[in-house]
Structure 1
């Protein structure tokens, strides 16, 4: 078998396997639940190999346990003190190396990770952010969008880099703002977009339509450049 034939066989073999996904969470885990449901129904060709939480009280832990998914909780040290980010990263890095995921997803994970951690994880890492990046990085995006009088808002999935919310944007879903919107109602509307955008984006990665190595579509003869935008007005 030639080298090119061997490479082709490996690529096909990987393509036919479920994408191994690890998820980092901090809160209720509604996006994690969407992924669990899609995995269990066979609609998304993934295997969630584990969930890491930096909060012991995160409801996402219950969701994972109910689905019989391995969970690692790194919130406090044995002495009862909250883990520093350095200690969390040390434990999380060991756990991720053990699980060997193909993709790491930050879904409502609320700690800023260091460049050392990001550069040494065993797989590409993506984050779900509640704004149309590069606008409105950071926190409190819904109120900031309303205060600024924006016409559109939404969510983005981007590659995680050392600079906060600055990695290449893969996909976005957007909606138009209503005069009736407040921060709470807008958060609920955007969350509905998140529940559609995250599994769809992971499907594109699992099917090798989006290449995280080249940050492009694998066939760009008919597809637009990244990010791919969806207008989902709800």
Structure 2
């Protein structure tokens, strides 16, 4: 691993206290970035990730922010930029996994899921652009179910993750003249607290992938790191899959 690929750069990872978000925050820090991360709950876990980032010799911030609250998500961006004077990489990872039959999920569930999974990334990107320079990166984390929904009860979640594709393409067009790239990553089944590889449905889920296994969060973080790196300078508006062949 090149420990200097992100030297001098700063990053904000929403939902960075655990799972994919924590792995992304640590991977960017290992590459030389100073990293801020947000959390809604689990302050201790967020502070643990921040401490590990500092252990890598980088600066870190753990910021309490609900991505469904416009003022809080925008405030996290402003706090990061104010602390370090710039923002080079935004990774929109925070999300809520809302499941249930469409007949059971009403307006409140709809509004909350859209607020966190769609409005949050939009507002974070909108705020971040004010502090970004040419060469900056925005990466959103979607989901494999945006393109293949194999079980009932995923309508609302799939709807929000599908919306990120349109947002990504629109932002890429808007921000291209500024030299800012915008890309979307759809991870497949990944071994996290929310979706453990030894969970009750894991055997079925593994069978839906071509590789027959779950990803480790670090594998997803590597793809995010590439999209945030100079090596992806000509990628924008792309929807990238790291799903073990879930959608093939």
TM-score normalised over the length of structure 1: 0.53
| Alpha-carbon distance in 1 for matches of 2:143, 2:51 | 26
Asked if 1:88 corresponds to 2:100, the answer is no
| Alpha-carbon distance in 2 for matches of 1:101, 1:84 | 21
What per-residue deviation string (whole Å, max 9, x for no partner) do you get for residues 141-195 of structure 1?
A: xxx52349xxxxxxxxx9xx9x5553245555668xxxxx9645539x8861653
RMSD between aligned alpha carbons? 4.5
What per-residue deviation string (whole Å, max 9, x for no partner) do you get for residues 89-110 of structure 1?
A: 3421321322322111123444
Alpha-carbon distance change, 64 to 183 in structure 1, aligned in 2, over 3 angstroms: farther
Asked if 1:206 corresponds to 2:206, the answer is no
Q: In the alignment, which residue of structure 2 is the partner of 1:25?
A: 15
| 1:130 positional shift | 2.4
Verify the 8 A CA contact 1:21 1:101 in the aligned structure 2. Answer: yes
Gaps of 5+ in 2: 97-115, 154-160, 170-182, 190-198, 207-211
| 1:85 positional shift | 0.7
Gaps of 5+ in 1: 1-14, 76-81, 137-143, 149-157, 176-180, 217-225
Q: Secondary structure at the match of 1:59?
A: helix
What per-residue deviation string (whole Å, max 9, x for no partner) do you get for residues 205-226 of structure 1?
A: 31233446xx16xxxxxxxxx4
| 1:29 positional shift | 3.8
Q: Higher relative contact order by CA 8 Å / sep ≥ 6: 1 or 2?
A: 2
Q: Secondary structure at the match of 2:33?
A: strand
The answer to which structure has the higher helix fraction is 2
TM-score normalised over the length of structure 2: 0.51
Asked if 1:146 corresponds to 2:151, the answer is yes
Q: In the alignment, which residue of structure 2 is the partner of 1:70?
A: 60
Q: Pick the structure with greater CA Rg.
A: 1
Q: In the alignment, which residue of structure 2 is the partner of 1:219?
A: none
Verify the 8 A CA contact 1:18 1:206 in the aligned structure 2. Answer: no
Asked if 1:103 corresponds to 2:103, the answer is no
| 1:49 positional shift | 2.7
